[in-house]
Structure 1
Amino acid sequence: MTFPLDRLVLTPDDIDLSRSPLAGQLGVETYCLGAFNPGLTRLPNGNLLMMVRIAEALKTPVFDGQVHAIRWDEGRYVLDGWPLALANTADPRKFLLHGGGWRIMALTSLSWLLPVELTPDGLEVVAHHYDKAVAPHAPFQMYGVEDARISKVGDRWLMTTCSVSPERHCTTLYASDNGLDWRFEDIVLDHQNKDMLIFEGLIDGRHWAQTRPLGDLYFAYPPDSEWRAGPSINLATSPDALHWKPHRKPGLRPHSATVATARMGGGTPPILTDRGWLSLWHGVEPKEIVGVYRTYWSILDRDDPSIVVATQHEPLLEAAPELTRPIEDKMYVCDVVFTTGIADAGDHYVVASGEADLACRITHIPKAVFA
């Protein structure tokens, strides 16, 4: 689908790395590989806030016969190097290390989160709040903090993030009383449970969330099943947003009739509508290294989110080459839109996405689309 108000509002050229948490510590030049996958919320003053993932990468990662990565280490940032002979660098976002009995990888960048304030319609930048950036602060974040998702539940803002380290690839929770100043709460989900989305409201007094556990092994559905084995969107509940229990019933699962959603995961925190909980999620069609990422939608029952009230098998959003054409010299992946935030704006929603793992895209989507 196409929408009249659909534009990029933030690109790597807009990021001032002299104000980065890493500034002046590495002794080598870095650049902004991407400013993307923004969490989104509305602030008390009516403006919108994006929590933008800034992927800060080494300008020259290969030198002295090694490929290098950035690591947080006890309050400072350092470089690690691996012999080129041990590394597979086919994917520009990471490199795989040979020699183990399982997949081991390192990132070509370290991510931190930048609060970017927007006008109420989300189409213009008001301020970059570098002084309120969220950056690694513990060993379980030594390779970065990624992909914020923000939910306002009652009077409190909750933000889930992915924290990356050799210890675990875990989900971490931050909280705020104003949507702008964030405090770390705790690790809430353990290894490789990504795309945690807390519902924007309670159900029967409890917090609900969508999660997406990953693994290297999935058991087959029966041959005639409507479902396809693979990553799916699960559900969990909590009394306090800190302690989570997996829900017994499945959530959103990939359909066997299409490969467009062969791999799927959460997009925006579910928001309550007249029909139920609106969930925007991503489906990935296998293609080359990264795949084709598109955004889809489903409506979940307001009292039992394991029940799908309605869904749309045609994509809501697809990658938009016309938007990235002015910055195509910076592109390193294509066919990727990754929707990560939603805010109510009366007769429409303001939807925030990462475009091509490079920039922040804002789209105004009429509520009638989901009627």
Structure 2
Amino acid sequence: MTFSHDALIFAPADVDLSRSPLAGQIDAETYVLGAFNPGMTRLPNGNLLLMVRVAEALRTPIRDQHIHAIRWDGQGYTLDAWPLEHVDTADPRKFMMRGGGWKVMALTSLSWLLPVELNADGTRVEQVHYDKAITPRAPYQCYGVEDARISKVGDRYLMTTCSVSPERHSTTLYTSDNALDWQLEGIVLDHQNKDMLIFEGLIGGKYFAQTRPLGDLYFAYPPGSEWRAGPSINLASSPDALHWKPYDKPGIRPHAATMATARMGGGAPPILTPEGWLSLWHGVEPAGVVGIYRTYWSLLDRDDPSVVLRTSHDPLIEANAALTDRLKDLMYLDNVVFTTGIVDAGDHYVVASGEADLACRVTWVAKGAFG
């Protein structure tokens, strides 16, 4: 698909690590592994806000026969050293503990969230708000805060994030009146329930959200079913955006007719259009190390979002190698686009994505693309 505007707006070199929350706190050099997967909303002044995930990584994680992880300990940041003989270091971004009977992982980076203010159409950076950065503040965030998604419901901004710790890989909620000063409300979904997207509006007087629980076991659909077993986009409702009940009906499920959505999850928070709720989500085709990530769309019924009115097997947005060509020396993944935000801009939508787990991409999508 051809877009009238499609460009990278923020990349690792745009982060000033001298203003990082980790600056001066650990005895090791760090660098920006990625500045990506930005939540997006429109500020009260009309500008756009990107809440950018900054993955700050150790330049030399392996030294003295140990590999190191960054951890927030309640007072500041520290390094944990693990003997090399106890871990698998095949992936430079993480390491896996050997033995134990289940998967245990640690990261050589820690993620925090950086508010980046853009102009109204998303084509220029106006200000980077280092003083408003979101950093670990609770034990369940000791390994970082990841992948913000921002919704505005009424006059209140709601931001979900993934918080990472040995205790759980949970979804946490922040609230704000202005999208710059955020209050941590705590955990709203427990272990390994990722990609929580709150609908931008109430349905039947309740908050609704898309969720995506992870697991290692799924039960098969009957032979010949149009659906494929595996991770799907579920629904939940809440009276207050804090206490969530899973919806009894299924949401968006992987379709057996295509391998392009063999794995799937939420993308941008659903927004209300005259025809229903527009949901942008990601599908993953198995290939290479992590698969091929693409952005797809579905139109959901405004009164019952479990009802899919219209969808497409053709991707809306795909990874664009031309955009990252100038960053090729920094790349560690390809064929990945991960859409994380959408705002209405009149005759088109401004869509924010993470490109290659490396940088932030802004795309103008014509409203006619969803016909």
Q: Please tell me the TM-score bracket, short chain as reference.
A: over 0.9
Report what 2:8 is aligned to.
8
Q: Percent of counterpart pairs with the same letter?
A: 74
Q: Distance in 2 between matches of 1:268 and 1:57?
A: 26
Report what 2:321 is aligned to.
321
1:166-177 superposed matches below 5 A: 166-177=166-177
Q: Secondary structure at the match of 2:2?
A: coil
Code of the residue aligned with 2:34 in structure 1: it is G
Report what 1:245 is aligned to.
245
Moved more, 252-261 or 50-59: 252-261
Code of the residue aligned with 2:160 in structure 1: it is T
Q: Distance in 2 between matches of 1:172 and 1:217?
A: 25
Kindly state the Cα deviation for residue 358 of structure 1 after the two structures are TM-superposed: 0.3
Code of the residue aligned with 2:172 in structure 1: it is T
Kindly state the Cα deviation for residue 86 of structure 1 after the two structures are TM-superposed: 2.2
| 5+ long unaligned stretches in structure 2 | none
Q: Secondary structure at the match of 1:148?
A: strand
Report what 2:295 is aligned to.
295
Q: Distance in 2 between matches of 1:14 and 1:79?
A: 25
Report what 1:333 is aligned to.
333
Q: Deviations over 1:94-136 (max 9, x none)?
A: 2211111000101121000000000000010000000000000
Code of the residue aligned with 1:100 in structure 2: it is G
Report what 1:35 is aligned to.
35
Report what 1:184 is aligned to.
184
Q: Secondary structure at the match of 1:268?
A: strand
1:198-237 superposed matches below 5 A: 198-237=198-237
TM-score, normalisation: structure 1: 0.99
Report what 2:80 is aligned to.
80
Q: Root-mean-square deviation (CA), in Å? A: 0.7
1:64 aligns with 2:36: no
Kindly state the Cα deviation for residue 70 of structure 1 after the two structures are TM-superposed: 0.2
Kindly state the Cα deviation for residue 337 of structure 1 after the two structures are TM-superposed: 0.2
Q: Distance in 2 between matches of 1:315 and 1:19?
A: 38
Kindly state the Cα deviation for residue 29 of structure 1 after the two structures are TM-superposed: 0.4
1:296-311 superposed matches below 5 A: 296-311=296-311
Kindly state the Cα deviation for residue 223 of structure 1 after the two structures are TM-superposed: 1.4
Q: Distance in 2 between matches of 1:93 and 1:322?
A: 24
Q: Secondary structure at the match of 2:339?
A: strand
Report what 1:19 is aligned to.
19
Q: Deviations over 1:318-343 (max 9, x none)?
A: 11000000011000111100000001
1:115 aligns with 2:115: yes
Q: Distance in 1 between matches of 2:59 and 2:156?
A: 39
1:132 aligns with 2:139: no
Q: Secondary structure at the match of 1:46?
A: coil
Code of the residue aligned with 2:292 in structure 1: it is V
Q: Distance in 2 between matches of 1:90 and 1:204?
A: 49
Code of the residue aligned with 1:10 in structure 2: it is F
Q: Secondary structure at the match of 1:287?
A: coil
Code of the residue aligned with 2:190 in structure 1: it is D
Q: Secondary structure at the match of 2:316?
A: strand
Report what 2:286 is aligned to.
286
Q: Distance in 2 between matches of 1:108 and 1:121?
A: 35
Kindly state the Cα deviation for residue 75 of structure 1 after the two structures are TM-superposed: 2.1
Q: Secondary structure at the match of 1:321?
A: coil
Code of the residue aligned with 1:27 in structure 2: it is D
Contact map agreement 1:92 1:332 (CA 8 A) in 2 = no
Q: Distance in 1 between matches of 2:5 and 2:46?
A: 19
Q: Secondary structure at the match of 1:267?
A: strand
Q: Distance in 2 between matches of 1:350 and 1:277?
A: 16
Q: Distance in 2 between matches of 1:256 and 1:96?
A: 32
Q: Secondary structure at the match of 1:313?
A: coil
Moved more, 161-170 or 67-76: 67-76
Report what 1:55 is aligned to.
55
Q: Distance in 1 between matches of 2:280 and 2:365?
A: 12
Q: Secondary structure at the match of 1:186?
A: strand
Q: Distance in 2 between matches of 1:124 and 1:320?
A: 20
1:268 aligns with 2:278: no
Q: Secondary structure at the match of 1:317?
A: coil
Q: Secondary structure at the match of 1:279?
A: strand
Code of the residue aligned with 1:281 in structure 2: it is W
Contact map agreement 1:56 1:110 (CA 8 A) in 2 = yes
Contact map agreement 1:75 1:137 (CA 8 A) in 2 = no
Kindly state the Cα deviation for residue 2 of structure 1 after the two structures are TM-superposed: 2.6
Code of the residue aligned with 2:337 in structure 1: it is V
Q: Deviations over 1:172-208 (max 9, x none)?
A: 0000001111110111000000000000000111000
Code of the residue aligned with 2:309 in structure 1: it is V
Report what 1:100 is aligned to.
100
Q: Distance in 2 between matches of 1:336 and 1:302?
A: 30
Contact map agreement 1:300 1:306 (CA 8 A) in 2 = yes
Code of the residue aligned with 1:349 in structure 2: it is Y
Kindly state the Cα deviation for residue 81 of structure 1 after the two structures are TM-superposed: 1.4
Code of the residue aligned with 2:107 in structure 1: it is L
Code of the residue aligned with 1:315 in structure 2: it is P
Report what 1:163 is aligned to.
163
Q: Distance in 1 between matches of 2:307 and 2:290?
A: 31
